[in-house]
């Protein structure tokens, strides 16, 4: 009897295993078939490239984490590949123009500026751009303003009021809760700690905020003025007096060319394409066009320039996609240093900073790469601030966009004390037995005394001094000079070039060309890092990986979909919770 039970159990196990194998195999085949069909996209003649930017644009394609277990071969194209795609379209006889569908735009200021330049180049090739939205955000209008024809919905409007910083302060709330934020920092402009220790902005922080906002706004107005054939002064006056309140105002003051519904925009597109009313517009989206036109690098070329994308918060350990893990990037840079085919490194930085320890480890590997004879060039995106500047400062040359935010050379540490909260709100108190004077120190359950506070401040001061030394050595300036422009102060890319933190204004392509010149290579190919895994490999990793980590990613994707624009605030709270050691990070993130 036991024999038959065992036999039946074994048979059942085999059947279940076969079902699982069949299921996974079906997913693989389905995914491959979808991928194959995707790559066979044909671009018809007399087509229009349809662009919208509803999803956050990463620096590198698919450099965002997802909680999904789907094998669907959809890519989130990074700004680098988007620019390449628009450039290809500009010389493609089958593409007659671009339709910008801009009802929702999600990207940073420098990213928008880079994308806008690509659109200008496209239009200068003699092709048309038509823009439409039911309502334009300031970022959306910045892109739309380059178009030959700018449409707005009859009930739509344009948010054209200027830039403002709205910073939440938590001190009163924390006081009411009984939570004491014990803050230690260096730099009078290091505003990252102010929401936890002040009730409003300090004068130095208000000064720097006003200056960098004005710098960003000047770039915004200058570019729009050039495209719309008007003056910066006129645009500034329209914003200051809030003249653009409805679609008719936008038309009157020539911010748009026409008021119309989507069907009227499509009718005009048909006219531009010499189509009849009953004809269908050959519209192709970015994803399909890119999959059909973007080419793989020529692997027969041996010499490589490594383009390393350091995007997101700098964190200790490995870090997930969209974050710069100190260990992950140190290991990656070490492998690149050991690769004889790599002749130079271009570090593309789009980071507000983070962990001081992780920043130091990444800096170390870049320094070793330079010592090994590989030139290092930095290209800055929306942000390269605090820890983001820490990992940039040793480069042979640094490029930034005019509206990049950089600098913020300062350090802080925060240790919350919940002793009063637990005592007053929950009736919980703590006592301790310790073998040494500081054995129970620096705990959230006891307030930090003067002697302990002095130790923490010395640690923060020490790291700030190290930060100054790193910048001093990298930029060939005295520490005293660096200190004058440091103290946590944020600078735009344009201003950073005048004070020596950045060498020149330029694009990622400019940085790659510079790296090639410094290395002396004439014929090369670029190789992007970190490598992006295929959908199926990601699925296998999830099935074989840390179950708790997968659950966290899945929960994160759900929260993001539910919270929408409020999700970054949750991430900020989580980031504060996970802080360890001295922090070098930007005090804010610009919302678009």
Positions marked active-site: 190, 386
Query: In which region does residue 54 sit, left (phi positive, over 0), alpha (psi from -120 to 50) or beta (all else)?
Result: alpha
DSSP class per residue in 378-447: EEEEEEEETHHHHTTTTSSEEEE-TT-EEE---EEEEEEE-HHHHHHHH--------SSTTTT-S-TTS-
Beta bridge partner(s), residue 305: 344, 526
Q: What is the rounded distance in angstroms from the CA atom of residue 498 to the CA atom of residue 525? A: 33
Half-sphere exposure of 567 (CA within 13 A, CB side): 11
Closest-CA residue to 143 (of 128, 156, 132, 157) = 132
End-to-end C-alpha distance for the chain, whole angstroms: 71
Indicate the helix (H) or strand (E) that contains 171: helix 171-177
Closest-CA residue to 324 (of 293, 350, 297) = 350
Name, in order, each residue with C-beta under 8 angstroms of 13's C-beta and a sequence gap of 6 or more: none
Exposure string for 245-260, b = 16+ CB within 10 A, e = fewer: eebebbbebebbbebb
Structure tokens at 163: 């830039």
Beta bridge partner(s), residue 182: 415
DSSP state of 136: B
Residue 98 and residue 51 in contact, taking contact as beta carbons nearer than 8 Å: yes
Alpha-carbon separation of residue 218 from 109, 192, 499 (angstroms): 12, 25, 19
Helix (H, G, I), strand (E, B) or coil at 533: coil
Beta bridge partner(s), residue 400: 505
Residue 285 and residue 147 in contact, taking contact as beta carbons nearer than 8 Å: no
């Amino acid at each position: 009897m036991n024999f038959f039970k065992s036999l039946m159990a074994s048979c059942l196990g085999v059947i279940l295993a076969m079902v699982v194998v069949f299921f996974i195999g079906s997913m693989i085949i389905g995914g491959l078939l979808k991928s194959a069909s995707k790559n066979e996209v044909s671009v018809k003649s007399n087509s229009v490239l349809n662009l919208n930017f509803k999803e956050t644009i990463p620096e590198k394609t698919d450099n965002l984490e997802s909680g999904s277990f789907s094998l669907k071969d959809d890519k989130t194209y990074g700004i680098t590949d988007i620019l390449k795609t628009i450039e290809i379209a500009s010389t493609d006889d089958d593409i007659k123009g671009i339709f910008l569908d801009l009802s929702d735009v999600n990207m940073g200021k420098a990213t928008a500026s880079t994308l806008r330049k690509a659109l200008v180049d496209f239009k200068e090739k003699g092709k048309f751009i038509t823009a439409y939205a039911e309502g334009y955000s300031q970022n959306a209008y910045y892109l739309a303003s380059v178009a030959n024809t700018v449409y707005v919905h009859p009930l739509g409007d344009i948010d054209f009021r200027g830039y403002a910083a709205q910073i939440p302060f938590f001190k009163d709330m924390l006081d009411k809760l009984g939570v004491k934020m014990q803050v230690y920092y260096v730099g009078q402009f290091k505003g990252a700690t102010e929401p936890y220790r002040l009730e409003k902005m300090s004068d130095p922080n208000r000064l720097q905020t006003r200056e960098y906002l004005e710098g960003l706004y000047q770039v915004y107005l200058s570019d729009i003025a050039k495209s719309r054939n008007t003056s910066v002064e006129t645009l500034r006056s329209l914003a200051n007096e809030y003249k653009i309140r409805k679609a008719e105002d936008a038309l009157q003051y020539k911010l748009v060319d026409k008021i119309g519904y989507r069907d009227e925009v499509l009718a005009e597109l048909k006219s531009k394409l010499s189509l009849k009313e009953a004809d269908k517009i050959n519209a192709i989206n970015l994803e399909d066009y890119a999959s059909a036109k973007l080419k793989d690098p020529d692997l027969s070329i041996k010499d490589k320039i490594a383009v390393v994308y350091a995007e997101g918060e700098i964190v200790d350990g490995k870090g997930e996609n969209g974050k710069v893990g100190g260990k992950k990037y140190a290991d990656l840079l070490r492998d690149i240093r050991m690769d004889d085919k790599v002749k130079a490194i271009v570090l593309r930085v789009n980071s507000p900073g983070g962990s001081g320890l992780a920043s130091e480890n990444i800096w170390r590997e870049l320094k070793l790469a330079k010592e090994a004879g590989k030139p290092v060039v930095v290209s800055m995106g929306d942000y390269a601030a605090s820890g983001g500047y820490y990992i940039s400062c040793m480069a042979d040359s640094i490029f930034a966009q005019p509206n990049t935010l950089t600098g913020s050379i300062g350090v802080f540490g925060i240790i919350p004390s919940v002793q009063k909260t637990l005592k007053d709100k929950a009736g919980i108190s703590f006592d301790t037995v310790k073998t040494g004077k500081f054995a129970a120190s620096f705990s959230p359950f006891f307030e930090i005394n003067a002697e302990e506070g002095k130790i923490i401040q010395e640690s923060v001061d020490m790291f700030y001094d190290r930060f100054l030394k790193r910048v001093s050595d990298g930029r060939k300036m005295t520490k005293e000079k660096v200190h004058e422009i440091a103290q946590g102060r944020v600078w735009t890319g344009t201003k950073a070039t005048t004070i020596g933190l950045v060498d020149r204004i330029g694009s990622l392509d400019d940085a790659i060309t510079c790296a090639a010149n410094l290395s002396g290579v004439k014929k090369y190919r670029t190789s992007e890092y970190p490598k992006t895994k295929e959908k199926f490999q990601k699925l296998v990793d999830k099935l074989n990986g840390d179950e708790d980590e997968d659950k966290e990613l899945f929960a994160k994707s759900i929260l993001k979909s539910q919270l929408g624009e409020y999700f970054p605030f949750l991430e900020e709270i989580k980031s504060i919770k996970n802080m360890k050691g001295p922090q070098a990070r930007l005090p804010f993130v610009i919302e678009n």
